Structure formats: structure tokens, C-alpha cells
Amino acid sequence: MSDSYDVVVIGGGPGGYAAAIKATHLGQKVACIDKYINKNGKPALGGTCANVGCIPSKALLDSTWKFHEAQGELSVHGIDVGNVSMDVAQMIKRKDDIVEKQTGGVAMLLKANGVTWLQGTGKLVAGKKVEFVPHDGDAQVLEAQNVILATGSSPIELPMAKLQEDIIVDNSGALEFTEVPKRLGVIGAGIIGLELGSVWSRLGSDVVVLEAMDAFLPMVDKQVGKEALKNLKKQGLDIRLSARLTGTTVKDGIVSVEYTDADGEQTMEVDKLIVAVGRRPITEDLFSVDSGVNLDERGFIFVNQSCATDVPGVYAIGDIVRGPALAHKATEEGVMVAELISGHHAEINYDCIPSVIYTHPEVSWVGLSEEQVKAQGDEYKTGMFAFVANGRAVAANETTGFVKVVSDVATDRVLGVHIVGPQASEIIMQAVIALEFGASTEDLQLMVFAHPGLSEVLHEAMLDVDGKAIHSVKRKRRK
């Protein structure tokens, strides 16, 4: 059997389903192949993000932060809720309900837009053909004018910490604990490790995070990382840097974790262990050796700036290509490729992709850090302003953190914005817009920001670049 499509997308995650929908908007006949089976044994779209990543983790982060506030943070508002408890089963059910709603919504969107959802595996073979194997049927060959590879990534596994039922788990397993572990170990102090560690710490786990690197969040501006580390430790996370895992042993439901640090060999015991040391691209059996698609030196599919592979009409997007493994990056690449396939101009400014860590306080950034600009040898200036001096933050009892701005001395152009504090994930988008349009700090200094609002901290940080901050007692001297 052979079917023909204008576009075949392999992968139904944020990049794949967005590409499929956009292509239909532009008049293409589209099929989207996805192999994911959820924990209930049913096919589900949305990829890692909707099923076991972005969405469910944020559901647990929101639930546990509300619990944390109810335990003591609300008293400053005059709210006394007495003794509170967490029903973990209900929390997990709520998370599952949200996931079902999100993945069902993606399925509805594909159907409404005329995308054919094919449930099974897809493989690119020679001649730009796609071999499709349904979950419950015989293999088919699909003819395609264009193919988009969008299979995403999976957690990196460690040979010295092999996954074991619900004791040693990856990010997926960490979303399914049925009770709060008394002692929880986390391998990796990256975004996933810190978010999941925060979830269970708020519920009472003694959380120890082991990070092999000697720097905390090295991809983040140093001052922001220092502030985030201080606050996470204050919340109870025991974060140990330069701690390299050497082995694990499971006995009687207890994990013995061996690692080395500056003081030599160490051992700790935990009830659960989360392995969160990064992700790898899913490219195994995605294309045949004679398909013409090539990998780069790091194992990612080689593409140009437009996500085109070495095969005309074949594209790759998201976590399987260069750049950060971010759902929103994959989505925009999918949309861009759909536009290009349909003959339209489209591009992405990779210098303006924001990153967010949804801990509390949140951490977000876009553009260059002070350390990166300094390493380039460029002359720069910085401005900072703290949330503690912002009326809206004080009223909300959310005064931790600050906004930092890095700009070019010669042009005054904003080079980067870095935030640790309340609603950092929302405020950063104003900075993204500024960078996208090449704004100067003066451009934002002259804008009127609504009062009282958390965004005023961004405004004051822009003013502080030139010593103009109004609500600062440590005013810089203007030249």
C-alpha cells in the first residue's frame, strides 16, 4: 500500500504538530506520524513536553508551591489555614487530567485542520520515502514531497545508575511518585533536576542534588546563578557541586549512592534517586544509511540555518538538531519549515530565544550574559534593579531577586537580560521583544510602564544602565 502526501512529519511533539498544522494552513496535504504510547497504553500526541515534561512538571510545581504557601507564607496576608496536608494521589491525578486535556487538545487540532494522524513509527528511506509501521498493522510506504523529522530527545542514561522500577528514575518516573520520599537524591543540577527537586522538597523530602560541574547553572549570568543558588538552598535543597557520581547500589528498597567530591569518596543513602543529567537526540532507526541524511560531530542531524538537511525536501527540527532543547524553539522551527516548504520567506533569530527555570523564584534569560560579552572583548555596561524596591512585589510579598541588563557601550543596544524573581518567565518576553527589534536601553528608558507592576523592575534596570534609576539609593554617577 502506498499513500502520497505533500508533507510527512515524523514526530507529534511541539515542533512536529505545529509544523503539520501550519502546513495545512498553507494548503498542504499532511500526515503526522507519532509512536508515543502513554501510561494508560493509549497513543498520545504532544511529545515529551505535554506528556512527561513541560506541562506535567509545571502542574506539580504549581500544586506544591500552593502547599508551601499554605504552610506558612500566607500568614503575612492575615490568612490562617491551620494544619494543611497534601493528598499526593489527588495531586498526581490533577497532573494526569491536565496532561490528558493537553494531549487531547493536540489531537483535536490535528483533526480540525485536516492532518492525518498515523499511529506508529516512521523511518526515512532512500528516495525521500517514509516507511510507516502502524502499532497494529503492516508496514506501508508513504510518498512525500517533503519530510520533516521531529522526533525530539530522551533522557541520558548513566551506566552507574541504571533505571530500576520506581526507585532509580528519570524525569518521567519522578512525576509518578505515589508518596513523598523521605530522602531524595537528584543527579544533575540543571533545569529538570532543580524543578523536580523543588517539587518534592516542598512536600517534605530531604533533597540532595549532586552536580558534577564546579559551577552552578554555568549557562546563566553568574550573578543570577549565585542568587538562585542562595534561595534554593534557603528553601532546603542541599546542592553539592563538584560531586561526581561513581556508582549506585539498590538493596531492600534503599539506594546507596557513591560519589566523589573535593574531600574524596563519599556515600549517601536515599529512598528515591532521580537521574537528570541531560537529554540526547532520538535518531536511532529514524533514517536509513542510504537516505542521504547526515549527523554532525555531536550526533545531531546536520541542518543549515533553515533546518534543511543534506537531502533536498527533508528537514529536521527541535531537539534532534543544533541549539537548545526547548519546546518553544522546536515549535518555531516547525512553523518556519512549513512556511519555507510552501514558498514563503521565514527565519528564526536564534539570538532571541528565551530560557526559563520554573523554580521559585523563577530564573529566565535571553541574549548574552556579562561573562559572554566580556569574553568577546566588547565594551559593555550593566544595570540592575531589585524586586525588593518594587511596590507590586512588596504588595505580593514576592521581593526576592532582581533584573540585570547588559548593553553595548558604543551603540547602547541591549545585548542580554537576566532575571531571577517573581514571574521572571513572563517579564522576560518584554526583553525578547526588545532584542528582536534591536532596541537600545534608552528606547526602554523612555517607555511608560504601568504602575504598580513587576515589569517596572525591568524599566528601572534599563535606567540603571546609565545611572538614571529613580527608586535607587545607590545611584550611579552619570557621565
Do 168-277 and 353-464 agree at the fold level? Answer: no
Q: What is the pLDDT of residue 72?
A: 85
As a CATH number, domain 2-155+280-348 is 3.50.50.60
Residue 1 pLDDT greater than 50, yes or no: no
pLDDT in tens, 279-338: 999 999 999 999 999 999 999 999 999 999 999 999 999 999 999 999 999 999 999 999
Tell me the pLDDT band of 137, cut-offs 50, 70 and 90. confident
Tell me the pLDDT band of 115, cut-offs 50, 70 and 90. very high
For domain 168-277, say whether CATH 3.50.50.60 is its number: yes
> Catalytic amino acids?
451
pLDDT in tens, 222-278: 999 999 999 999 999 999 999 999 999 999 999 999 999 999 999 999 999 999 999
Q: Percentage of residues in the chain with pLDDT exceeding 70?
A: 98
pLDDT in tens, 47-94: 999 999 999 999 999 999 999 999 988 999 999 998 999 999 999 999
pLDDT in tens, 351-379: 999 999 999 999 999 999 999 999 999 99
Regarding pTM above 0.85, the answer is: yes
Residue 21 pLDDT greater than 60, yes or no: yes
As a CATH number, domain 353-464 is 3.30.390.30
pLDDT in tens, 151-198: 999 999 999 999 998 999 999 999 999 999 999 999 999 999 999 999
Q: What is the pLDDT of residue 477?
A: 54
Cα atoms in the 13 Å half-sphere on the side-chain side of 393: 24
Cα atoms in the 13 Å half-sphere on the side-chain side of 205: 28
pLDDT higher for 92 or 137? 92
Query: In the predicted model, what is the mean pLDDT of the chain?
Result: 96
Domain ranges of the chain: 2-155+280-348, 168-277, 353-464
Q: What is the pLDDT of residue 2?
A: 58
Cell of 308: 534543511
Q: Percentage of residues in the chain with pLDDT exceeding 90?
A: 96
Q: What is the pLDDT of residue 251?
A: 96
